[in-house]
């Protein structure tokens, strides 16, 4: 039974929302970030980059977090942000040139996270958990929701479609040609219907935002211990999430690029691969895998198709069936000497939508010696891993939608 709670969002005013909302801070290249900070006084980037006001680029730690809080207060004092008077759900639709995503922004329960109603598929780094927990504690708000997915539900879909027939509260497009719409669901009957529908959902899966969710839980635990009157209903016991039906997720693969062949020549490397794979040379013909356990490889100016020899590899659990794990166990570790795929200096992960062209370009320019592509995993693959008590290997999935910051803000 999932607890999905409406909340009183702090939001940009309708006339400024297109100027305020932003992508995640670390996505912007330096020149674009500088331009937005220089020419847009309303961008939320001023809040998360508070040193810009003082011409300081390298403020860190608690000092930076406290300045983030101060810039946020200034945006509220200047009327850029206002808070809704009543708790609400927020239907948010993002349309890209390729996909449309439509779900509900609401508050998730920390208790659901601890009870495994909310399940994760990635390991998190303790240092990042603590850093973001400290950020949340000092700033007192969260401006970017965790992406959660749930089985398609006709009751929730009917409510969403009802509101989509009405004029949205927000309607704007961004320079990347994405269109953003947001509706406010404040009607008590509709709120009750949505809450009850989510109570019937047994499991929610984190699609994106593992560190944000874990850090929110750490903060809640710490604040509960500091609060002698803790009830479990305080705002810090919840974190902002975007609930999206499973059918609307877009899941992409990460390509692998390797800087050297671990002392092998290309011919010697191909001989080593032959132990685990049936190899077809495709020359300049671009090969894209269409089945699981098939891989694309670009080496020494040629494309190759690699087909796993199932007699040479044992499937022991759900994780062992993932193509990213197969590539690690048969190629990256034993042949190329890459033990720690999270921190290895000689491997690069890149999410690419160029139909495999990146596999060729990064090798041809001399930056890498060999590249690998594979088929994306499915939501069922992710659920099989999670429900088996396992974790996905690093850089196995790139999941969309990527959400904008500061469309809705959750305070605690």
Looking at the fold, whether 53 and 116 belong to one and the same domain comes out as: yes
> What would the mean pLDDT of 364-385 be, rounded to a whole number?
96
Cβ atoms < 10 Å from Cβ of 317: 13
- State whether 108 and 239 are in the same domain: yes
Are residues 96 and 200 both part of a single domain?
yes
Contact status, residue 68 vs residue 134, Cβ threshold 8 Å: no
276 & 332 share domain: yes
Q: Contact at 8 Å (CB) between 242 and 104?
A: yes
Q: How far is CA 347 from the centre of its chain?
A: 21
Q: Residue 390 corresponds to which tokens in the numbers above?
A: 């396992």
3-state SS string for the chain = CCCEECECCEEECCCCHHHHCECCHHHCCHHHHHHHHHHCCCCCHHHHCHHHHHCCCCCCHHHHHHHHHHHHHHHHHCCCEEECCCCEEEEEEEECCCCEEEEEEEEEEHHHHHCCCEECCCCCCHHHHHHHHHHHHHHCEECCCEEEEECCCHHHHHHHHHHHCCCCCEEEECCCCCEEEEEEECCHHHHHHHHHHHHCCCCEEEEECHHHHHHHHHHHHHHHHHCCCCCCCCHHHEEEEEEEEHHHCEEECEEEEECCCCCCCHHHHHHHHCCCEEEEEEECCCCCCCCCCEEEEEECCEEEEEEECHHHCCCCCCHHHCHHHHHHHHHHCCCCCCCCCCCCCCEEEEECCCCCHHHHHHHHCCCCCEEEEECCCCHHHHHHHHHCCCCCCCCCCEEECCCCECCCEEEC
pLDDT surpasses 80 at 343: no
Task: Name the region of 95 (left: φ>0; alpha: ψ -120 to 50; beta: rest).
Answer: beta
- Tally the domains of the chain: 2
Q: How confident is the model at residue 57 (pLDDT cuts 50, 70, 90)?
A: low
What is the distance of C-alpha 130 from the center of its chain? 19
Domain identity same for 10 and 152:
yes
Measured distance CA(84)–CA(12) in Å, rounded = 11
Query: 292 with 356, same domain?
Result: yes
Pick from 154, 180, 177: nearest CA to 168: 180
Query: For the chain, what is the largest distance between any 2 Cα atoms, rounded to a whole number of angstroms?
Result: 69
* 104 in the same domain as 242: yes
Together in a domain, 14 and 134: yes
Residue 350 has pLDDT above 70, yes or no: yes
pLDDT bin (cut points 50, 70, 90) of residue 355 is low
What the block records as the tokens of 95 is 């349309």
Residues 192 and 84 in one domain: yes
pLDDT averaged over the chain? Answer: 95
**Pair 217, 113: CB distance under 8 Å:** yes
Q: What is the mean pLDDT of residues 10-38?
A: 94
Q: Does the pLDDT at position 353 exceed 70?
A: no
Q: In CATH, what number is assigned to the domain containing residue 370? A: 3.30.1760
Q: Which of 202-211, 226-235, 343-352, 367-376 has the lowest average pLDDT?
A: 343-352
pLDDT digits (tens, 9 = 90+) for 111-150: 999 999 999 999 888 999 999 999 999 999 999 999 999 9
Inter-CA distances, 12 with 18, 22, 359, Å = 9, 12, 41
Do 181 and 293 lie in one domain? The reply is: no
Average pLDDT over residues 263-287: 97
Residues in the chain: 412
204-255: per-residue pLDDT in tens?
Answer: 999 999 999 999 999 999 999 999 999 999 999 999 999 999 999 999 999 9
Residues forming a β-bridge with 108: 4, 239
pLDDT at 167: 98
Residues 279 and 159 in one domain: no
Whether residue 352 has pLDDT greater than 90: no
Same domain, 134 and 151: yes
pLDDT at residue 187 tops 90:
yes
Rounded Cα distance between 167 and 13, Å, is 16
- Which range marks the domain in which residue 219 is found? 4-251+400-411
In the block, tokens 């329960």 appear at 109
Instruction: Calculate the CA dihedral of residues 206, 209, 211, 217 and round it to 10 degrees.
Output: -60
Partners of 22 in the β-ladder: 405
pLDDT of residue 52: 85
Judge contact between 273 and 280, C-beta under 8 A: no
Please give the backbone phi and psi of residue 52, each rounded to the nearest 5 degrees, phi first.
Answer: -60, -35
CA angle centred on 122, ends 149 and 334, rounded to 5°: 135
Alpha carbons within 13 angstroms on the beta-carbon side of residue 41 total: 4
């Amino acid at each position: 039974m999932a607890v999905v709670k409406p909340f009183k969002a702090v939001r940009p005013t309708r006339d400024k929302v297109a100027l305020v909302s932003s992508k995640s801070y670390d996505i912007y290249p330096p020149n674009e970030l500088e331009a937005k900070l220089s020419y847009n006084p309303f961008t939320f980037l001023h809040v998360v980059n508070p040193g810009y006001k003082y011409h300081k680029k390298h403020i860190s730690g608690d000092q930076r977090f406290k300045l983030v809080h101060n810039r946020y207060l200034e945006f509220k004092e200047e009327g850029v942000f206002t808070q809704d008077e009543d708790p609400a759900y927020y239907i948010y639709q993002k349309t890209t040139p390729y996909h449309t995503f439509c779900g509900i922004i609401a508050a998730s329960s920390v208790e659901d996270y601890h009870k495994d109603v909310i399940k994760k598929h990635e390991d998190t780094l303790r240092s990042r958990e603590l850093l973001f927990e400290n950020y949340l504690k000092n700033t007192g708000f969260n401006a970017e929701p965790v992406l959660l997915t749930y089985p398609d539900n006709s009751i929730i879909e009917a409510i969403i479609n009802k509101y989509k027939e009405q004029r949205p509260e927000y309607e704007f497009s961004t320079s990347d040609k994405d269109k953003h719409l947001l509706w406010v669901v404040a009607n008590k009957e509709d709120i009750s219907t949505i809450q009850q529908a989510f109570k019937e959902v047994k499991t929610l899966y984190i699609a994106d935002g593992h560190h944000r969710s874990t850090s929110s839980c750490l903060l809640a635990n710490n604040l509960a211990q500091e609060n002698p009157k803790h009830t479990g209903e305080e705002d810090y016991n919840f974190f902002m999430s975007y609930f999206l039906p499973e059918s609307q997720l877009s899941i992409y693969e990460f390509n692998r690029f390797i800087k050297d062949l671990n002392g092998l020549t290309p011919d010697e490397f191909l001989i080593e691969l032959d132990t685990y794979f049936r190899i077809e040379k495709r020359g300049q013909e671009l090969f894209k895998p269409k089945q699981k356990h098939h891989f694309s490889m670009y080496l020494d100016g040629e494309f190759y198709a690699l087909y796993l020899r199932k007699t040479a590899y044992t499937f022991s659990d759900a994780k062992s069936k993932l193509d990213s794990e197969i590539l690690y166990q048969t190629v990256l570790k034993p042949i190329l000497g890459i033990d720690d795929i999270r921190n290895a200096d000689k491997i690069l992960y890149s999410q690419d939508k160029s139909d495999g062209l990146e596999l060729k370009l990064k090798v041809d320019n001399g930056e890498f010696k060999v590249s690998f592509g594979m088929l994306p995993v499915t939501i069922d693959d992710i659920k099989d891993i999670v429900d088996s008590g396992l974790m996905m290997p690093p850089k196995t999935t790139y999941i969309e939608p990527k959400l904008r910051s500061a469309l809705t803000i959750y305070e605690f």
